[in-house]
Amino acid sequence: MRTRIAIFMSIIQAILFAVHWFVYATWMSFTGAANAPGVSAARLILLLLSVSFVITSLLAFRYSNILIRIFYTISAVWLGMLSFFFLAASLSWLTYAATVSLGLSFHKQAIAPLFFGLAACTSAYAIINALWIRVRRISVKLPNLPESWKGRVAALVSDVHLGHVRGRGFTQRIVHMLLRLRPDVVFITGDLFDGTSANLERVAKPWVHLAPPLGAFFVAGNHEEFSGHSKYLDAVRASGIRVLDNEKISLDGVDLVGVHHGALVHSETFRSILRKASLDPKRPSILLAHAPDQLRIAEEEGISLQLSGHTHRGQFFPWTWITSRIYGPFVYGLKRLGRLLVYTTSGAGTWGPPMRLGAAPELVLIHFES
């Protein structure tokens, strides 16, 4: 296991070295600043930044103190900026090639500063955008919905990622928003925690102030399973939220099923859990599952509505494009597969770079219609 982790981290570090070199070489080639004052210091800073995310990530999994949180946040922000600077460098070369091939008159020295300046501004906006949690409202119609559920509202929260970047204050913001919105029930579909070292009960404690009429329910995501999910589930339970441990409960005439991510990824295990739940075809059913996976199985086993997160909608380009290739139409929003309705939320928090562009953070209010 340790060997595989070492190989994986080595590959990531090699990629980061290559991207940093490309960005640096592009800037120097276009600006001619190789002999300018301060270049040696800039090279040293860039070298340190190139190894910062891997080092701080390894430290973050073992330690939680103010210095580690600061350094981890800086490295995470830089990783996001690096993505935009890589795109800026690529566009610089493409623009230069186009101007040369078309015989256009253009100063080479102006190309890179233009794109790199746009990348810096985009990074700043993406950081601000990631802090602005929207409230998205959707309406669903489920077959055989009990009269008591008509007009009720459920809140869907996912991918908060409490840890070194988002902490107790972020939890308080979400809880305060939910208190104002006053949903009848709250569903939390995993990755409440980032998986790094943290005082789990402290960062989750604000949830104790939330007491929706029908309760709050949680299933684990992949980040709660990095090092065994029992400590995360204990922290969730201590905050007054009920953990659905691969089980079904009856929620005022609706079957509510919760499946942890570790069981979801194994198709036969997942199917077995749904069959043991003995869903009543005459009652609507809601499935809480971290990722929009195994949708065909959920549809075949009679689930009416699946609520998921996990994708973050990619957070920002090019990851927005990559996640859409992986999950297709189910990467985000309300979609249908046969008799199954699926809503995938972009989530409230972030993983890695605390940035979002074209994938706004959200809390979802689900209105049940007759």
- pLDDT tens per residue across all 370 residues of the chain: 578 778 888 999 999 999 999 999 999 999 876 666 666 788 889 999 999 999 999 999 888 899 999 999 999 999 999 999 999 999 999 999 998 888 777 777 889 999 999 999 999 999 999 999 999 999 999 999 999 999 999 999 999 999 999 999 999 999 999 999 999 999 999 999 998 888 999 999 999 999 999 999 999 999 998 877 789 999 999 999 999 999 999 999 999 999 999 999 999 999 999 999 999 989 999 999 999 999 999 999 999 999 999 999 999 999 999 999 999 999 999 999 999 999 999 999 999 999 999 999 999 999 999 7
Predicted confidence at residue 81, as pLDDT, reads 97
Residue 314's domain is classified under what CATH number? 3.60.21.10
The answer on 31 and 74 residing in a single domain is yes
The answer on 162 and 95 residing in a single domain is no
The answer on 102 and 193 residing in a single domain is no
The answer on 320 and 283 residing in a single domain is yes
Residue 188 to residue 198: CA distance in whole angstroms: 19
The answer on 321 and 229 residing in a single domain is yes
The answer on 187 and 113 residing in a single domain is no
Predicted confidence at residue 37, as pLDDT, reads 61
The answer on 278 and 229 residing in a single domain is yes
The answer on 350 and 219 residing in a single domain is yes
Q: Is 235 exposed, middle or buried (0-12, 13-18, 19+ CB in 10 A)?
A: buried
280-303 CB burial, b ≥16 within 10 A, e <16: eeebbbbbbbbbbbbbebbbebbb
Predicted confidence at residue 42, as pLDDT, reads 80
User: Pairing mode, if any, of strands 340-344 and 134-141?
Assistant: unpaired
Which structural domain range is residue 22 located in?
2-130
Given 101, 130, 159, the domain boundary residue is: 130
Predicted confidence at residue 34, as pLDDT, reads 61
The answer on 195 and 276 residing in a single domain is yes
177-203 CB burial, b ≥16 within 10 A, e <16: ebeeeebbbbbbbbbbbbbbbbebeeb
- The first and second tokens of residue 215, run together, are 């309760």
Predicted confidence at residue 35, as pLDDT, reads 64
The answer on 357 and 223 residing in a single domain is yes
Given 102, 130, 158, the domain boundary residue is: 130
Tell me how many domains the chain contains: 2
Contacts of 263 (CB under 8 A, 6+ apart): 246, 269, 270, 273
The answer on 76 and 49 residing in a single domain is yes
Predicted confidence at residue 1, as pLDDT, reads 59
The answer on 77 and 42 residing in a single domain is yes
User: Pairing mode, if any, of strands 153-157 and 305-308?
Assistant: unpaired
Predicted confidence at residue 308, as pLDDT, reads 98
Given 130, 157, 177, the domain boundary residue is: 130
